[in-house]
C-alpha cells in the first residue's frame, strides 16, 4: 500500500525548512542574484553569509540529505527527499545552503559508488563539506546528449590517458575544482559500452575555455556564465583518473541521473507552488472592471487548472519516489520518465498563467516569474531531452502490448457481442 503520511518528527523539520528557505535562502536570492553566485566560492561576501546558514542546516540534521550516513548524510529515502526538495526548489540558493546543489549531488553519488579510496579522499569529502564545487562535462556541440554521436575521445599513451575533443554546456566548469568528463574510449563498441568517465582536476594543462554559455534570461556578461564550451586539447591524465572501468561511462552516468531527475521534478513542484501562491495573492489584491481579479470566472478557471495540474504532478513524483524506496531496482524507470516528461510542461503552464495575472509586472525582472518562465524550456533539456524520455516510455509500454487475435480490436463491440450471445444462446433462446 502506498502511504504518503508524514511522521510528526519529519513535519517539524519540513516546517522549519519552509520558514528558513523563505527568510534566509530567498534573501540570498535577492542579495546575489546572478546565475553562478551559489557556486562562486571565491566571493567572500556571499560566503560570509552562506557559511552560518549552512551551519544552521547541519545543526538541524538536514545537510546533504541525499547521501547515506557513511558519507555524512542522514540517508533519507526518496519520498522524504522529495518532500524536502519541494521546499528547497523555491529558492535558487537553497540547494547550496542545504548541500544539495547540482551537479555536485550527482557527482558526489558517483564518486561514492565508483571512486577509489584516493579519489574519495581528494574530491568527495571537500565536495560534501561545501568547500569546492564540481562540473559534469558530458554533452557535445554536434551531438547534444546522444552518446552514440560523441567525438571527444580518450586514448592510451604509455602510462597516461589523453583526452582530445570538445564538450558543450559543461555545468559549473568555470568555478569547478574538478570536472567529471565522459568520453569515447572504445569507438568500435555500441554506445552503451563505448564510453568511459574520467576525473580531471581543473588545473590540468590543456583545458581551454572557448566561451561560457548563457541561459535564456541571464546576463550577457561572459564572466557570469557557468556553463562552458570547452576544448580538451590533449589533456593528459594518470591511469587511475578513470571512474569505474573502461567502457562503463554510460553505466556511471545513468547511476547519477535517476534520483536527480526525481529531485528536479520535486523542486519544480516547489517553483510551481510559489507561482501559484503569487497568483492567489494577486487575485485578491488587484481589481479590474469594477471587481477583484478573483471574482472573474476566467481567472478562477486559470487558478483551478493550476491547482489540479500541480496536485496531479506532485502525486506522480511522490509515487515515483515511493517506488524507488520500495520496489526492485529499475522498477521506477518508467515513472522517472513520466516525471521528466511532465515537469517542463507543468512549470511552463502554471508560470505563464501567473505572469498573465500579474500583467506587465509579470514580464519584468521585478518578480521571480519571468526568470521562472525562462527556465521551463531549460528543464525540458536538462538530464536528457524530454522527447527521448517520451520515446523510451512509449517503447516500455509497447513491449507489454499484444496484437489483437483477429482483424478487429479485442474491444470490437460486434465481435464481443456475438461471442456473448453464443455463450448464453440457451438462456437467450428461452
Cell digits for 45?
Answer: 561576501
How far is residue 95's CA from residue 63's CA, in Å, rounded to a whole number? 10
* pLDDT at res. 222: 47
CA distances from 277 to 87, 271, 282, 402 (A): 13, 10, 9, 46
Q: Is 184 in contact with 192 (CB distance < 8 Å)?
A: no
How far is residue 362's CA from residue 367's CA, in Å, rounded to a whole number? 6
Place of cell 546565475: 35
pLDDT digit string, tens, across residues 246-288: 999 888 887 766 566 788 899 999 999 999 999 999 999 999 9
* pLDDT at res. 220: 45
Q: What is the mean pLDDT of residues 50-60?
A: 96
Domains present along the chain, CATH in parentheses: 8-115 (1.10.540.10), 134-243 (2.40.110.10), 251-384 (1.20.140.10)
* pLDDT at res. 203: 96
Q: Is 65 in contact with 83 (CB distance < 8 Å)?
A: no
* pLDDT at res. 258: 57
* pLDDT at res. 223: 56
Q: What is the mean pLDDT of residues 153-177?
A: 94
Q: Map residue 149 onto helix, strand or coil.
A: helix
* pLDDT at res. 307: 98
* pLDDT at res. 102: 85
Indicate the average pLDDT of the chain.
90
Of all residues in the chain, the percent with pLDDT exceeding 70 is: 95
Q: Is the pLDDT of residue 164 over 90?
A: yes
Q: Map residue 162 onto helix, strand or coil.
A: strand
- Highest mean pLDDT among 38-42, 198-202, 387-391 belongs to 198-202
pLDDT digit string, tens, across residues 7-51: 999 999 999 999 999 999 999 999 998 878 899 988 999 999 999
Q: Which residues make Cβ contacts (< 8 Å) with residue 16, sequence separation at least 6? A: 60
Count of residues in the chain = 430
Amino acid at each position: 500500500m502506498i502511504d504518503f503520511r508524514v511522521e510528526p518528527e519529519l513535519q517539524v523539520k519540513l516546517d522549519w525548512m519552509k520558514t528558513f528557505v523563505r527568510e534566509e535562502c530567498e534573501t540570498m536570492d535577492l542579495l546575489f542574484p546572478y546565475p553562478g553566485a551559489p557556486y562562486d566560492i571565491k566571493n567572500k561576501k556571499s560566503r560570509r553569509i552562506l557559511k552560518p546558514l549552512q551551519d544552521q542546516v547541519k545543526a538541524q540534521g538536514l545537510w546533504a540529505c541525499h547521501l547515506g550516513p557513511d558519507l555524512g548524510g542522514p540517508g533519507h529515502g526518496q519520498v522524504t527527499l522529495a518532500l524536502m526538495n519541494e521546499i528547497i526548489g523555491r529558492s535558487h540558493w537553497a540547494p547550496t545552503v542545504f548541500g544539495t546543489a547540482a551537479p555536485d549531488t550527482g557527482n558526489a553519488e558517483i564518486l561514492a559508488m565508483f571512486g577509489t579510496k584516493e579519489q574519495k579522499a581528494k574530491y568527495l569529502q571537500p565536495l560534501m563539506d561545501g568547500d569546492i564545487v564540481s562540473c559534469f562535462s558530458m554533452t557535445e556541440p554536434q551531438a547534444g546528449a546522444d552518446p552514440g554521436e560523441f567525438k571527444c575521445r580518450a586514448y592510451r599513451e604509455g602510462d597516461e590517458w589523453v583526452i582530445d575533443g570538445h564538450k558543450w554546456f559543461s555545468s559549473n566548469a568555470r568555478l569547478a575544482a574538478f570536472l567529471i568528463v565522459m568520453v569515447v574510449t572504445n569507438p568500435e563498441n555500441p554506445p552503451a559500452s563505448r564510453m568511459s568517465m574520467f576525473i580531471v582536476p581543473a588545473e590540468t594543462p590543456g583545458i581551454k575555455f572557448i566561451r561560457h554559455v548563457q541561459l535564456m534570461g541571464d546576463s550577457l556578461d561572459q564572466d557570469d556564465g557557468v556553463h562552458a564550451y570547452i576544448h580538451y586539447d590533449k589533456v593528459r591524465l594518470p591511469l587511475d583518473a578513470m571512474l569505474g572501468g573502461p567502457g562503463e561511462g554510460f553505466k556511471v552516468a545513468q547511476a547519477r541521473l535517476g534520483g536527480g531527475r526525481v529531485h528536479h521534478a520535486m523542486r519544480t513542484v516547489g517553483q510551481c507552488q510559489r507561482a501559484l501562491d503569487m497568483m492567489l495573492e494577486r487575485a485578491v489584491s488587484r481589481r479590474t472592471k469594477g471587481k477583484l481579479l478573483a471574482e472573474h470566472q476566467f481567472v478562477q478557471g486559470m487558478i483551478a487548472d493550476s491547482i489540479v495540474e500541480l496536485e496531479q504532478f506532485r502525486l506522480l513524483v511522490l509515487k515515483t519516489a515511493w517506488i524507488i524506496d520500495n520496489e526492485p531496482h529499475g522498477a521506477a524507470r518508467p515513472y522517472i520518465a513520466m516525471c521528466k516528461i511532465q515537469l517542463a510542461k507543468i512549470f511552463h503552464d502554471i508560470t505563464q498563467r501567473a505572469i498573465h495575472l500579474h500583467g506587465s509586472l509579470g514580464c519584468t525582472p521585478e518578480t521571480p516569474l519571468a526568470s521562472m518562465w525562462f527556465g521551463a524550456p531549460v528543464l525540458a533539456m536538462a538530464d536528457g531531452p524530454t522527447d527521448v524520455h517520451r520515446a523510451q516510455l512509449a517503447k516500455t509500454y509497447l513491449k507489454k502490448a499484444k496484437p489483437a487475435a483477429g482483424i478487429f480490436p479485442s474491444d470490437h463491440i460486434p465481435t464481443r457481442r456475438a461471442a456473448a450471445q453464443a455463450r448464453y444462446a440457451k438462456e437467450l433462446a428461452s
